[in-house]
Amino acid sequence: MGFFLPKTNWVLQTFVSTKQNFPAVCRCFTSTTSWRWAESTDPKAFHQEIKIKDDIMTKKKAGKKRFAPKPFSAFVAGSSKMRAMYNTNNAVANDSSSPLNIVSTPDTPLSAKEWEKLKEEYQHFKKFEDVMFDSMVHNHSPVDVAKSLLVAVAKRDGDIEYSYLVKYLTLCVFHKDIGEIYDIYNIMKAKYKSLEASAYSLLIKGLSVSSHWKETLVLLEKVKKVSFHSRQNYGDCIEGALLNQERNLAFELFHEMVAENLIPASATIKLFFDFCQPVKDDHLKNKCIDILYYLRENQIYPDESLMLSVKQWFESIPGENWKGNLTSMNNNSRQCPSCGHLLEDINLSEEEFINVKDKIKKDVIEGTDVFRNTSPQELERFQRFVNEHPPFDVVIDGLNVARTTPLNPSSKTLLDVVVYLAQKYDRLLVLGRRHMLKNSFQWKKRDMDDMQKKADFFFTDNMSKDDPFLLYATFHSGGHCMLVTRDLLRDHRAVLSDNVTRRLFFKWQRGHQMVVSSYVPGKILTFEDALPYDTVVQTDGNTWHIPYDDNLSKRVSYEIPVKWLCLQKK
Amino acid sequence: MHLLNLIRRSAFKLIAPKMTKYGLFLTMPSKINTCGTLRMIYLNKSISKNADENIDLDEWKLVVLSGLQKEAFEKASPEEEPNIAAIKEYIDMSRRLGKAAPENITEEQLERLIEYPSVTSRNKYLAFLASKEMRKNAEKEKKKKQREEREELKKTMENEELVPKSRLFRAIWESSMDVMYNWKAAQAMSFGQPLVFDMDYNDMSEREMQNTVKQMMECEGANRKAVEPFHLYYCNFKEDGPYHKEFLKRYGDAWDNLFVTVTEKSYVELFPRDQIVYLTADSPNVMETFDHNKTYIIGSLVDKTIRKGVSLARAKRLKLATAQLPLERYFHWKTGAKVLTLDQMIMILIALKNTGNWKEALEFVPKRKHEGFVDPSLQQFINRQKNKRASEQNFKKKLLVDELSKKRLWNGLWEE
């Protein structure tokens, strides 16, 4: 694909440049090419289609698996995307051609007269210069061309609009033309009292890699006066400081940034590990390790490039002889396959557990208005029910489990699951709604009676929500109790009031949620078990285990990475 | 590649002078697209070398800096708090960049702007102010134009001689319409069916509250103009509460002259419980028909972040009957929440009250939200059958006529 593109471009250019009637041809061709690009350069879409077809083929061949639920692996990175693909059966939509590309930009500087002529040709644009600058930024035109347009504008108007200056600055920053950036900076400083955020960010980005990098700190202060900092601004300043060997300043900036609740970009953290690599003093080493602890506290997972930097950094510590391995964990045991160390347990501490339990009652069940999810009478009935019964081993979301496959009556599916689980666990609880008790096609009275011999039941009102009760019942039963549902419980996590509780809840969920992964009525029933270890940056002094995102799978916020970096001191 | 370019270019340079003689290469250099192999610009440069080499690329800096002296004087004038001045400047710069930001901003708006905790919320507020300003300016312009037109019309009218025309009635002005509406509203106040707005929603943001009150004003206006208006109740209304303040701001003195019952009491105290139906989109019950003996309640609530089940919870607490509009039954729903605005609700209810026809009433559901009605009602079906039959008959008739006329024609021809 890589060599294909320039070739088409080249053919097109030669063809176009031999034509006499330009603008119309250009426009028509730019549009057609961009379409072709969009089609051909989207390898993912291509692969996805094939994949889906393959899946269907294997299914048809297998035959048996026809009634199985769609593949469902709850929290693993990339699974939500897979599910979306499976459900819609669609390839990702192609990027449409950019509107910024409508004007063809010249590739050498033009004189004022020539610009005037060109402007006449594009009369239909309200502001020709605007469109032209946008197009230049989009195509990364050479700085000189943009400069010549500035000259033309300056000659005509005697002044240059702020927006043109900023767009020109964007171009200079892209080409890293530091002399020019500094000149613009001086002009802006002389002309305007203060700028807006985008110009500040561009200046910070441009100047941070130059010898004027100290100016970026001044600019950073100025941004604060009128707007908010972005993590990009801090990242650029840190880069400037590190490039100039001002490590302490860089760490200060980092702490300042964290204090402002900005989450540093992976690339910024990578800079620290890259620039502190010849680790000589302990002070510096501790600071870098503090960053790793920061990642742990905030459940941030490094990306692949950062992971490699961290690995290299550890291996470069003199005298400690660290060894790094890339690995992925076995889902059933806590042991790291590379070094044999036990990973951290996923269970919450007692204090945390009680905290989350209380928050669930307060935020998820009661919320702002008890009547929204349930009613006080029902809540009381539920609490009485839970207190009367000894702790459960498994709590089942009846309505969710029953809908696993549409081809089986709901009560039959639920019965199968209950019978299966009853062999393994002693005490089951099934949560459902009242309407399940009415004999109907989906809910057979006989099945329900059979089930009630094996498990306890609690039915909420038809208008109430059953999920909050589900969560509370599981928590009430204690740390050993498992939860069976295919629901990701994202909405319940979202209503929890603070970030820490949300994180703890997610940790608990990963460790205690069992998911029906495949089901064929009467034949197959398998569960995807909960993870035994916690996915978080962790250490015991002699080893570090760092989960990271690989570049291939796109992870969404409610998923966790599967790849690990295992570091071991020898 | 590069080598090839060089050769081609040099070849072109050789040919170029000849070609230009024949006027073959008189195209403008600017027309050339992005980097290609055959660069005509090179060619042109070689032709008009003198003109092109004069481009001084740093000239713009001199021009800009020379213009600075003028602005330096202007800068000295404003004397404000440094912080506020900086933010004003910031807004001005954003505007210059082409972002949505207002030209003028009041102190109050500035204070609110500073209170917003993030860039996005600030930008949103600025965009809102900008669009408001733009609308205001456009209106001003329009009014100015209208005034000018009116004056011109007057001038032309003056030239003509005014002949008094004889008419049966005096012109009906808006004030006389108003009198009629007020009569009807007064009648509704004594005999009309009650319709309640529940105003016990206090956790709305300022914008939401403004929108709510605006929608309620629309409701009142629509109700006034109905053939048979409802008797509107504003229940759970708090004196000097946020609703009251907003109403006073919008209505002014007219607030005291509304034909509406405003009360601090709850609807549960005013009406028997079994007659009350709380209308909410979250209700499990679908409204079948409009009952003229029931008291319908609409929650006067605008929630931009759709909070599910707020009004349903209220009805549950008071153990009231609830109902939702049969939107799913009648529409192929397309996008958007099934929560309608207050004025749409009242229009639907008025139409239902006066005609009892769901299809007619649900015309007030915004068209963008659905893809037409689900199935043609029986009446429509019959109509279509009728039309079909009629058109068939027409077709037959037409054939007959055609045949006859042809025959006649032929006969005529033969006769001739």
Locate the DSSP E strands across B71-151. Answer: none
Question: A239: buried, middle or exposed (CB in 10 Å: 19+, 13-18, 0-12)?
Answer: buried
Count CB-CB contacts under 10 A for residue B372: 9
Q: Which of A156-165, A270-279, A438-447, B50-59 has the lowest mean pLDDT?
A: B50-59
Report, in angstroms and rounded to the nearest whole number, the Rg of chain B calculated over CA atoms. Answer: 36
Residue B101: is its pLDDT beyond 50?
yes
Across the range A105-122, mean pLDDT stands at 85
Quick check: A147 and B33 CB within 8 A? no
Phi first, then psi, for residue A356 (nearest 5°) are -65, -40
B283/chain A closest Cα distance in angstroms: 9
Q: Minimal Cα distance from A105: which residue of B?
A: B34
Q: Looking at residue A160, what is its pLDDT?
A: 85
Q: Which residues of A touch B68 (CB under 8 A)?
A: 190-191
Q: Looking at residue B148, what is its pLDDT?
A: 95
Alpha-carbon torsion (B316, B319, B320, B322), positive or negative: positive
Quick check: B31 and A147 CB within 8 A? no
Residue A10: is its pLDDT beyond 50?
no
A493 Cβ contact partners less than 8 Å away, ≥ 6 residues apart: A502, A505, A506, A509, A558
Q: Looking at residue B266, what is its pLDDT?
A: 94
**B115 in contact with A, Cβ within 8 Å:** no
CA separation for the pair A148, B59 (Å, rounded): 9
Please write the tens of the pLDDT for every residue from B271-305. Answer: 999 999 999 999 999 998 999 999 999 999 998 87
Beta bridge partners of A322: A569
Across the range B165-192, mean pLDDT stands at 88
Tokens of A223: 């941004």
Local confidence band at B55 (pLDDT 50, 70, 90 cut-offs): low
CA separation for the pair B315, B297 (Å, rounded): 10
Percent of chain A topping pLDDT 70: 84
A455/chain B closest Cα distance in angstroms: 30
Quick check: A161 and B96 CB within 8 A? yes
Average model confidence (pLDDT) across chain B? 80
Count CB-CB contacts under 10 A for residue A454: 14
Q: Minimal Cα distance from B83: which residue of A?
A: A225
Residue B16: is its pLDDT beyond 80?
no
Quick check: A199 and B93 CB within 8 A? yes
CA separation for the pair A325, B207 (Å, rounded): 55
H/E segment holding residue A173: helix A162-175
Q: Looking at residue A403, what is its pLDDT?
A: 86
Nearest CB among A158, A198, A226 relative to B63 is that of: A158
Strand pairing category for A428-433 and A394-397: parallel
Q: Minimal Cα distance from A462: which residue of B?
A: B284
**B76 in contact with A, Cβ within 8 Å:** no
CATH annotation of A350-530: 3.40.50.11980
Residue B415: is its pLDDT beyond 60?
no
Please write the tens of the pLDDT for every residue from B135-170. Answer: 999 999 999 999 999 999 888 877 776 667 788 888
Q: Which residues of B touch A494 (CB under 8 A)?
A: none
Please write the tens of the pLDDT for every residue from A217-254. Answer: 999 988 888 888 899 999 999 999 999 988 899 999 99
Q: Looking at residue A276, what is its pLDDT?
A: 86
Q: Looking at residue B390, what is its pLDDT?
A: 73
Q: Which of A198-207, A521-530, B325-334, B374-383 has the lowest mean pLDDT?
A: B374-383
- Helices A197-208/A178-191 angle, 10° precision: 140
Residue A189: is its pLDDT beyond 80?
yes
Q: Which residues of A touch B99 (CB under 8 A)?
A: 196
Give A512 or B73, the one with higher predicted confidence.
Answer: A512
Local confidence band at A139 (pLDDT 50, 70, 90 cut-offs): confident
Percent of chain B topping pLDDT 70: 75
Nearest CB among B34, B51, B58 relative to A139 is that of: B34
Residue B214: is its pLDDT beyond 70?
yes
B346 Cβ contact partners less than 8 Å away, ≥ 6 residues apart: B195, B219, B222, B223, B230, B298
Q: Smallest Cα–Cα separation from A405: which of A83, A66, A52?
A: A66
Residue A484: is its pLDDT beyond 90?
yes
Q: Which residues of B touch A155 (CB under 8 A)?
A: 59, 63
Q: Looking at residue A11, what is its pLDDT?
A: 40
Contacts 24+ apart (CB under 8 A), A418-423: A418/A451, A418/A454, A418/A455, A419/A454, A420/A525, A421/A394, A421/A396, A421/A484, A422/A454, A422/A455
CA separation for the pair A127, A566 (Å, rounded): 57
Residue B368: is its pLDDT beyond 50?
yes
A494/chain B closest Cα distance in angstroms: 13
Across the range A354-358, mean pLDDT stands at 93
Quick check: B31 and A118 CB within 8 A? yes
Q: Smallest Cα–Cα separation from A337: which of A548, A545, A555, A550?
A: A545
Quick check: A162 and B96 CB within 8 A? yes
A564/chain B closest Cα distance in angstroms: 35
Quick check: A22 and B27 CB within 8 A? yes
Across the range A96-116, mean pLDDT stands at 75
CA distances from A530 to A74, A401, A510, A515 (A): 9, 16, 6, 8
Q: Which residues of B touch A195 (CB under 8 A)?
A: 90, 93
Q: Which residues of A touch B11 (CB under 8 A)?
A: none
Q: Looking at residue A278, what is its pLDDT?
A: 73
Local confidence band at B375 (pLDDT 50, 70, 90 cut-offs): low
**B170 in contact with A, Cβ within 8 Å:** no
Tokens of A428: 């089951």
Beta bridge partners of A568: A323, A543
- Within its chain, how far is the Cα of A229 from the centroid? 21
Asked whether A83 and A556 are in contact (CB, 8 A), the reply is no
List the end-to-end C-alpha distance of chain B, in Å, as a whole number.
87
Tokens 């970030």 — which residue? A499
CA distances from A113 to A22, A23, A141 (A): 19, 18, 20
Quick check: B59 and A155 CB within 8 A? yes
Q: Smallest Cα–Cα separation from B351: which of B223, B194, B215?
A: B223
Q: Which residues of A touch B60 (CB under 8 A)?
A: 147, 150-151, 153-154, 160
Asked whether A132 and A103 are in contact (CB, 8 A), the reply is yes
Q: Which residues of B touch A191 (CB under 8 A)?
A: 64, 68, 71
A198/chain B closest Cα distance in angstroms: 9
Nearest CB among A117, A155, A230 relative to B63 is that of: A155
Q: Which of B38-47, B188-197, B363-372, B392-401 has the lowest mean pLDDT?
A: B38-47
Q: Which residues of B touch A372 (CB under 8 A)?
A: 308-310, 312-313
Quick check: B36 and A17 CB within 8 A? yes
Q: Which of A408-412, A452-456, B133-137, B402-406 has the lowest mean pLDDT?
A: B402-406
Give B277 or A550, the one with higher predicted confidence.
Answer: B277
For testing the chain A interface, which of B31, B52, B77, B83 should be mutated: the one with the most A CBs within 10 Å?
B31
- Helices B82-96/B107-115 angle, 10° precision: 90
CA atoms within 13 A on the CB side of B94: 23
Local confidence band at B407 (pLDDT 50, 70, 90 cut-offs): low
Residue A24: is its pLDDT beyond 80?
no
Q: Looking at residue B149, what is its pLDDT?
A: 94
Quick check: B64 and A369 CB within 8 A? no
- Within its chain, how far is the Cα of A113 from the centroid? 50
Q: Looking at residue A547, what is its pLDDT?
A: 94
Nearest CB among A23, A29, A163 relative to B96 is that of: A163
Locate the DSSP E strands across A329-481. Answer: 394-397, 428-433, 456-460
What value, to the nearest 5°, has the Cα angle with vertex A564 and ends A558 and A565? 140
Q: Looking at residue B203, what is its pLDDT?
A: 86
Local confidence band at A18 (pLDDT 50, 70, 90 cut-offs): very low
A180/chain B closest Cα distance in angstroms: 10
Q: Smallest Cα–Cα separation from A27: which of A95, A98, A101?
A: A101
For testing the chain B interface, which of A14, A17, A28 should be mutated: the one with the most B CBs within 10 Å?
A17
Q: Smallest Cα–Cα separation from A71: which of A61, A296, A58?
A: A58
Residue B23: is its pLDDT beyond 50?
no
B127 Cβ contact partners less than 8 Å away, ≥ 6 residues apart: B100, B101
Local confidence band at A52 (pLDDT 50, 70, 90 cut-offs): very low
Nearest CB among B33, B86, B98 relative to A226 is that of: B86
Q: Looking at residue B85, what is its pLDDT?
A: 82
Residue B88: is its pLDDT beyond 60?
yes
Local confidence band at A19 (pLDDT 50, 70, 90 cut-offs): very low
Q: Which of A10-24, A74-88, B113-127 has the lowest mean pLDDT?
A: A10-24
Q: Looking at residue B1, what is its pLDDT?
A: 47
Percent of chain B topping pLDDT 90: 45
Asked whether B301 and B340 are in contact (CB, 8 A), the reply is no
Across the range A74-78, mean pLDDT stands at 78
A194/chain B closest Cα distance in angstroms: 6
Q: Looking at residue A98, what is its pLDDT?
A: 55
Please write the tens of the pLDDT for every residue from B344-359. Answer: 999 999 999 998 889 8
Local confidence band at A120 (pLDDT 50, 70, 90 cut-offs): confident
Local confidence band at B37 (pLDDT 50, 70, 90 cut-offs): very low
Is residue B286 classed as helix, strand or coil in its secondary structure? Answer: strand
Q: Which of A79-93, A419-433, B29-43, B213-227 has the lowest mean pLDDT?
A: B29-43
A1 Cβ contact partners less than 8 Å away, ≥ 6 residues apart: A40, A41, A43
Local confidence band at A29 (pLDDT 50, 70, 90 cut-offs): very low
Tokens of B138: 């456009």
Residue type for B239, please? E
CA separation for the pair B59, B66 (Å, rounded): 11
Complex ipTM: 0.75
Q: Minimal Cα distance from B52: which residue of A?
A: A111
Asked whether B19 and B25 are in contact (CB, 8 A), the reply is yes
Beta bridge partners of A533: A345
CA separation for the pair B237, B200 (Å, rounded): 7
Nearest CB among A114, A183, A462 relative to B30 is that of: A114
